[in-house]
Amino acid sequence: MSDLPKSVKINEEGPREGFQIEKGPIATRRKIELIDALSTTGLHQIQCVSFVNPKNVPGMADAEEVTRGFTKRPGVKYTCLWLNDKGFLRAAKFKDRYDLTAKISLTASEKFLKRNQNRTLKENLEAQTGMIRLFKEAGVPIDGGSIMAAFGCNFEGDIPVSRILEQIAQMHDLAAEHDIKIKWVSLADTMAWATPASIKRVVGAVRQKYPRLDLNLHLHDTRGMGIACAYAGLEMGVASYDAAVAGLGGCPFAAHKSAAGNVCTEDLVFMCEEMGLATGVDTERLIEVAMLAEDIVGHPLPGSVKGGGSLKLMRARIRAAKSA
């Protein structure tokens, strides 16, 4: 099956996914600088911060300051992340800064859920009911859902496709109960278990059962499969991807040894644009921002195109040389 979309939507998560993991303190003004730079690249959506417990994630203690600091650019959707009610209530104060549209958050692996949030699958499903009520009280719409560890888990192993279908059905049940509509589902390869083959298998099964559901892929590059998995997703018609500029999010102690970050935005943009799929992003400008990201974190980041260079520029040079 090959069903390439004509255009691809990229959700930039570098500022959130990247800075969250960095050990060294990163100045608030530099985080803002990156968000503002990203907004000049043509990216339509930027996730800026996560509202999480600063004791657990010290790098996100300045989430409010960053939120107030960036310059909103027309046409760009700014988003933030929360993991629980406390985080959401912090985020909800910034309706003027963020698109707060919410989602139902499930996790395919019970063992991972237990370790991360100390909940069973059932308890997490119940917790979602509470979150939906909270979103509604705050006047925040809910239009999608996400499934973490959808392709495998370091504590539970391989995840059967049936689990994913079951969790999407649970989302629809929740939606029906609360009179909301799930328009899209994000499948997250949280621990980098996916291969292009498993992307095709899982996405294929979901599309067969839910042909009208929009899908998003959240891919990590820990085992070097990120771009290949994105390509497999594109071939299955998936038109929305999370990504992080320069591959931000890699382990700061072994950034170049183990690119554990999200799939790299400029590498993904390069692939899409070279294959004729429009992203709306200016690759050259994005490469400049990837270099800025490296400057900000102060260590090499894993993305490749920022080193290899884009072909658009090279073609322009070749044309110029021919006409000279």
Residues marked as catalytic: 251
**Counting beta carbons within 10 angstroms of the beta carbon of residue 138, is it exposed (0 to 12), middle (13 to 18) or buried (19 or more)?**
middle
158 lies in the binding site for a copy of itself (CB under 8 A):
yes
Nearer to a copy of itself, 113 or 225 (CB): 225
Which position among 25, 54, 130, 308 is part of the footprint of a copy of itself (CB under 8 A)? Answer: 308
Q: For 57-107, give the DSSP string.
A: -GGGTTHHHHHHHSPP-TTPEEEEEESSHHHHHHHGGGTTT----EEEEEE
Question: Which residues from 67-126 bind a copy of itself, rule CB under 8 A?
Answer: none
163 lies in the binding site for a copy of itself (CB under 8 A):
no
Which position among 75, 157, 160, 298 is part of the footprint of a copy of itself (CB under 8 A)? Answer: 157
Which position among 206, 215, 230, 293 is part of the footprint of a copy of itself (CB under 8 A)? Answer: 230
Q: For 177-217, give the DSSP string.
A: HTT----EEEEE-TTS---HHHHHHHHHHHHHH-TT-EEEE
Gap between the Cα atoms of 111 and 129, Å rounded: 21
Site string for a copy of itself, 187-226 (x = CB under 8 A): -----xx-xxxx----------------------xxxxx-
Nearer to a copy of itself, 41 or 79 (CB): 41
Q: For 4-38, give the DSSP string.
A: --SB-EEEE-IIIIIHHH--S---HHHHHHHHHHH
Residues that bind a copy of itself (CB under 8 A): 1-2, 152, 154-158, 192-193, 195-198, 221-225, 227-228, 230-232, 254-260, 264, 267, 270-271, 274-276, 300, 302-309, 311, 314-315, 318-319
